[in-house]
């Protein structure tokens, strides 16, 4: 699959590389696993040294790194290195005369190998950075650990990074471009399922493209296959993040994916206080996000939670929820449930799709959803242009025939009371508008 999108990130990384010629620069690249960090970094730089921090003894890791350095830079490194700090200092000294882009991938894994590496790197960086030409790229997939390493004031590398890139999924216009390139006859349902199953995550997109799975049916064939990466994916990616309490986090996420989106609803089922778990899922792990009605007052407790990542939502809703069937290899059973529930399940993602399209248009200053107490008068999309004094109020339905503008106008009566000087536009979006 060809390289898509990421033009802004490439421009930023190449600009940093150029500025490192007059003084070393440190850049942090974060993003969930499979998002395309490594591919982006390798695309950005023609000449680079790429080191991957695997879970092994520090001395063995140094031995591996020395081989990479010698082969990549065509140099001979004399001496024996058993500590990464000594190897890093050697690299910094080398960049007094020679500009080098050094990429250290899965940087957070040093925490398990030798946590003192971070303070050692800080001391070496502070000593050498002004007189050297090192373009240092530090990439990591476990967001909570990378955030701690670089944003916790108590940590040695706090404040050392010159730039940070938080890599996001492909947006809907890029997903549409990819489908047009590889399956020009795709249907609107194919586009919606592609958006739901991949969530714009680069690795999943690549897997579907390489397998030619660009229709909804073929996408489901790829997911519910005994060799499928997708069946264990949520567990493989999140257990390491959550640690020993992963079962509680998984239970919460499964309930949110099954439309139990309020704290009270989740606590009534789990019969325990989950405030701390929700806070960590939102702020440390960034797996969920809090949603409040548009124009809600500061401090309002009217809120819901949703899983930020489309694929994780799908995984918890269908695969984790039916893990007993998955474990005995009855993939067809789970697939049948997906096909049965897909039209209902996909509705909220169609809404999410159009919200993202409106954000891309940059025609509005505020975009959100609206509901009143007890979930009364729910409105799918409210978008405001404060400069032009205009408001868009929209209903989203898979079937355009189910959009009722009279009902929509009645639901918005209380909402528009504070916007009497605004031009109000009522609109319906359906799968036909994708």
Residues 301 and 341 in one domain: yes
Q: How far apart are CA 33 and CA 144, in angstroms?
A: 13
Q: Is the pLDDT score of 61 beyond 90?
A: yes
Residues 177 and 249 in one domain: no
Residues 192 and 274 in one domain: no
Residues 156 and 194 in one domain: no
Q: How far apart are CA 273 and CA 36, in angstroms?
A: 36
What's the domain count of the chain? 4
Radius of gyration of the chain (CA): 25
Q: How far apart are CA 291 and CA 368, in angstroms?
A: 9
* DSSP β-bridge partners for residue 103: 50, 137
pLDDT in tens, 224-253: 999 999 999 999 999 988 989 999 999 999
300 phi, psi to nearest 5 deg:
-60, 135
Residues 324 and 358 in one domain: no
Give domain status of residue 228, yes or no: no
Question: Cα torsion for 130, 136, 141, 147, to the nearest 10°?
Answer: 0
| Residue recorded with tokens 């929509």 | 408
Q: How far apart are CA 349 and CA 361, in angstroms?
A: 18
Report the pLDDT averaged over residues 82-101: 96
pLDDT band for 141, please (50, 70, 90 cuts): confident
Rounded to two decimals, what is the model's pTM? 0.90
b/e for 346-378, b at 16 or more Cβ within 10 A?
Answer: bbebbbbbbbbbbeeeeebeebbbbbeeeeebe
pLDDT in tens, 189-212: 999 999 999 999 999 999 999 999
Give domain status of residue 2, yes or no: no
Write out the H or E segment, with its range, that includes residue 29: strand 25-30
Cα separations in angstroms, 285 against 159, 288, 390: 21, 8, 36
Considering the chain, what is the average pLDDT of its residues?
Answer: 95
Domain boundary among 345, 364, 391: 345
Give domain status of residue 178, yes or no: yes
Residues 283 and 311 in one domain: yes
Residues 152 and 198 in one domain: no
Domain boundary among 305, 323, 345: 345
Q: What is the pLDDT of residue 241?
A: 85
Q: Is the pLDDT score of 299 beyond 90?
A: no
* CB atoms inside a 10 Å sphere around CB 165: 21
For 177, how many CA atoms within 13 A lie in the half-sphere containing its CB? 11
| Residue recorded with tokens 């505020």 | 366
pLDDT band for 79, please (50, 70, 90 cuts): confident
Q: How far apart are CA 427 and CA 55, in angstroms?
A: 54
Using a CB cutoff of 8 Å and minimum separation of 24, what contacts does 306-309 make? 306/256, 306/261, 307/253, 307/256, 307/257, 309/32, 309/169, 309/199, 309/201
* CB atoms inside a 10 Å sphere around CB 424: 14
Q: How far apart are CA 145 and CA 286, in angstroms?
A: 12
Q: Is the pLDDT score of 3 beyond 90?
A: no
Cα separations in angstroms, 266 against 44, 244, 254, 259, 263: 44, 20, 10, 10, 5
Three-class SS state of 407: helix
Tokens standing for residue 309: 């990542």
Alpha helices in 115-201 (DSSP H): 116-128, 143-151, 172-182, 188-198
CA 371 from centroid of its chain's CA atoms: 27
Percent of the chain with pLDDT over 90: 91
Domain boundary among 345, 372, 394: 345
First and final C-alpha spacing in the chain = 24
Residues 87 and 17 in one domain: yes
| CATH code assigned at 414 | 3.40.1350.10
Residues 106 and 52 in one domain: yes
Residues 151 and 23 in one domain: yes
Cβ burial of 218 (10 Å; 0-12, 13-18, 19+) is middle
* DSSP β-bridge partners for residue 391: 384, 424
pLDDT in tens, 393-432: 999 999 999 999 999 999 999 999 999 999 999 999 999 9
User: Strand 390-396 to strand 376-385: parallel, antiparallel, or no bridges (unpaired)?
Assistant: antiparallel
Residues 199 and 249 in one domain: no
Report the pLDDT averaged over residues 341-355: 96
Q: How far apart are CA 164 and CA 348, in angstroms?
A: 32
Q: What is the pLDDT of residue 206?
A: 96
Tokens standing for residue 432: 């036909």
pLDDT band for 284, please (50, 70, 90 cuts): confident
Tokens standing for residue 153: 């004031």
Give domain status of residue 1, yes or no: no
Report the pLDDT averaged over residues 340-357: 96
pLDDT band for 275, please (50, 70, 90 cuts): very high
Q: At what angle do helices 58-73 and 84-94 cross, to 10 degrees?
A: 20
Cα separations in angstroms, 315 against 223, 320, 340: 10, 6, 16
| CATH code assigned at 330 | 1.10.10
**Are 166 and 36 spatial neighbours (Cβ–Cβ below 8 Å)?**
no
Residues 180 and 302 in one domain: no
Give domain status of residue 192, yes or no: yes
| CATH code assigned at 122 | 3.40.50.300
**Structural domain harbouring 195:** 172-223
**Are 196 and 346 spatial neighbours (Cβ–Cβ below 8 Å)?**
yes
Give domain status of residue 124, yes or no: yes
Residue 333's contacts (CB-CB under 8 Å, 6 or more residues apart) are 322, 325
């Amino acid at each position: 699959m060809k390289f898509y999108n990421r033009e802004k990130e490439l421009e930023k990384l190449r600009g940093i590389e150029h500025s490192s010629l007059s003084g070393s620069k440190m850049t942090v690249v974060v993003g969930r696993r499979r998002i395309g960090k490594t591919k982006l970094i390798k695309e950005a730089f023609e000449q680079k040294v790429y080191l991957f921090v695997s879970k092994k003894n520090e001395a063995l890791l140094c031995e591996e790194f020395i081989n990479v350095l010698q082969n990549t830079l065509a140099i001979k490194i004399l001496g024996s290195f058993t500590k990464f700090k000594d190897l890093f200092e050697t690299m910094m000294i080398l960049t007094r005369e020679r500009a080098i882009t050094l990429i250290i991938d899965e940087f957070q894994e040093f925490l398990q190998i030798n946590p003192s590496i971070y303070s050692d790197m800080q001391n070496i960086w502070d000593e050498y950075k002004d007189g050297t030409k090192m373009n240092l790229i530090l990439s990591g997939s476990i967001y909570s650990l990378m955030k701690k390493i670089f944003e916790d004031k108590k940590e040695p590398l706090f404040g050392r990074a010159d730039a940070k890139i938080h890599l996001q999924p492909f947006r809907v216009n890029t997903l549409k471009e990819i489908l047009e390139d590889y399956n020009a006859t795709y249907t609107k349902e194919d586009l919606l399922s592609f958006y739901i199953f991949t969530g714009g995550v680069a690795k999943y997109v690549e897997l579907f493209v390489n397998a030619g799975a660009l229709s909804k049916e073929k996408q489901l064939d790829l997911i519910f296959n005994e060799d499928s990466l997708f069946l264990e994916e949520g567990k493989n990616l999140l257990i390491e993040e959550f640690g020993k309490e992963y079962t509680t986090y998984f239970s919460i996420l499964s309930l949110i994916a099954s439309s139990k989106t309020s704290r009270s609803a989740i606590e009534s089922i789990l019969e325990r206080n989950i405030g701390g778990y929700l806070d960590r899922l939102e702020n440390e792990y960034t797996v969920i996000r809090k949603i409040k009605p548009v124009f809600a007052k500061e401090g309002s407790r009217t809120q819901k939670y949703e899983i930020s990542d489309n694929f994780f939502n799908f995984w918890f809703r269908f695969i984790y929820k039916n893990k007993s069937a998955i474990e005995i290899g009855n993939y067809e059973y789970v697939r049948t449930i997906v096909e049965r529930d897909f039209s209902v399940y996909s509705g909220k993602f169609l809404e999410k799709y159009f919200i993202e399209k409106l954000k891309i248009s940059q025609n509005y200053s505020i975009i959100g959803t609206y509901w009143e107490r007890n979930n009364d008068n729910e409105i799918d999309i409210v978008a405001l242009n404060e400069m032009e004094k205009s408001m868009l109020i929209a209903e989203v339905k898979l079937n355009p025939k189910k959009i009722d503008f009279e009902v929509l106008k009645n639901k918005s009566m209380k909402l528009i009371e504070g916007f009497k000087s605004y031009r109000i536009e009522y609109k319906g979006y359906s799968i036909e508008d994708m």
